[in-house]
Structures are given as structure tokens and as C-alpha cells.
Amino acid sequence: NFILTKMSDEGLDYDEVLKEAQELGYAEADPAADVEGLDTMRKLRILSSLALGSSITEDDIVYSGIDKITAFDIELLAKKNRRVKLIGEAIKSEDSYTAVVWPKAVSESSPLKNVDGAFNSVLIEGDLSNTLNFYGPGAGMYPTANAIWTDIIDCVLENGSKLSPLKNNKLQKDEHNFSKFYLRVSDYKIHDVVDFIDIIDEILEDNQDLAIITKKLTLDIIVEKLAELSDDRYTLIAYED
């Protein structure tokens, strides 16, 4: 979140901000877990297991990170009044559940839009409670030390979790929820436009790179569309209406 905030507010490039985050202790010397979505995925796994009363595995969660996002992407989405955040979501879909971690361009009305810097937020939507928002520092040595000591105390005191009525439900790996996506294809050719023509809702840029907002799609459909492209040629960000 620190990296995305600095890129958004100061127009800085990813590599420059990553270096600063490492110097401040917000990102590890090997930043893969932080920037490729692994750390968020593992946190989502813990929260989902507690919320659903079921053991969620890493294979249940589809994830991607922020390492391919550029200042150009941030700028284009800012013109659409969107702010990019790395978000982990566990979503109820009929009688099953899906879990996904992805960068998401959130709208002006999102309670996550102004969660900036080294702060994190957890949103819980209940049938009767509506949306509950838990907000606080999520990076740095003191928040990390506090979390570790809290876990140690819980283990010593043998604090257990409450049983959940959703205990027998399993998260499904397939993402059934529909979303629009921001997609940028670098060094694009005319056949790239042809390949994506049926999913384009809006074209934001068609100079050296092709940047589009897609129609509402399921994750498996957009992944299938991108199968022919190498990973270094595209950036994909979920787009909130």
C-alpha cells in the first residue's frame, strides 16, 4: 500500500518507490512476497479460515501482485477517478465461496480509497451489520512486533476461535464473481485489438501500448484471453464500477 500510495501521490516509478520501502523496512530485502501478492494471499487465507470456520489452502486462492504496475497505469486510472489498491477478497457466491488477491482500481465511493501509506484496512460485510471497517498500521517494526506478541500470548493462553456455522463450506478456486478489468498490453499490434475486441468496453490508450477497460467478465475468461501473451507484455487490474 505504501508503494501504490507514493506512485499515486508523487507520480514515482515502481522501482524507485520499492527501494524506499525497503529502506524504511516496509518491504523485505527480497520483496517477492510483498509485491507479488503472496503476503496478502497468506493473510487472506488466515482471515478466510477464521471467518468460514474451514481450513483454506493456498491453492484455493487466486492471486496476483503489483510488480507490473507502472506510473502510466496509475495516471490513466486516476483520470477515471480510480485509485489502485492491492486487495484480498473472500466472496460468498450462492452456496460456495471464492477468494482472490489482486490489484484493484477502486472508485471514489470505496472506503478503501483513502487507506494510504503504511496503513491497512479490513472490511467485513455482514447480513445485519452492514460493512464494518477495521483500520490501522500494517507495516513497520512496531506493528509487526505487536502482532507477533499478540499471537504468542494467544498460544500461551490457548485462546481458541469460535465455531462458525459455515464450518463445512469450502472455498472454490474458480472465481465466479464478475468484474471489469483494466488491461494494458505493451507494444501492441493490430491483431491484439482483434483478439480483445469482444471484451472491450472502453479504450483509454492506443498509442505504443493498448490500454482498455473490459466489459464485466469472470476471472477465468480474462485469463483465457491472456493465455497467448507473455507475462511481461500485459498488466491486469480489477476495475470497480
Which entry of 6, 19, 43, 68 is annotated as an active-site residue? 43
Report the distance separating Cα 60 and Cα 87, nearest Å.
16
Q: Active-site residue 43, yes or no?
A: yes
Give 110-117 contacts, CB < 8 A, sequence gap 24+.
Answer: 110/240, 112/85, 112/87, 113/83, 113/85, 115/1, 115/85, 116/1, 116/5, 116/9, 117/1, 117/2, 117/5
Report the distance separating Cα 236 and Cα 213, nearest Å.
10
Q: Widest CA span of the chain, in angstroms?
A: 63
Answer for the pair 117, 1: CB distance below 8 angstroms, yes or no. yes
| Matching residue, cell 485509485 | 83
Catalytic residues: 43
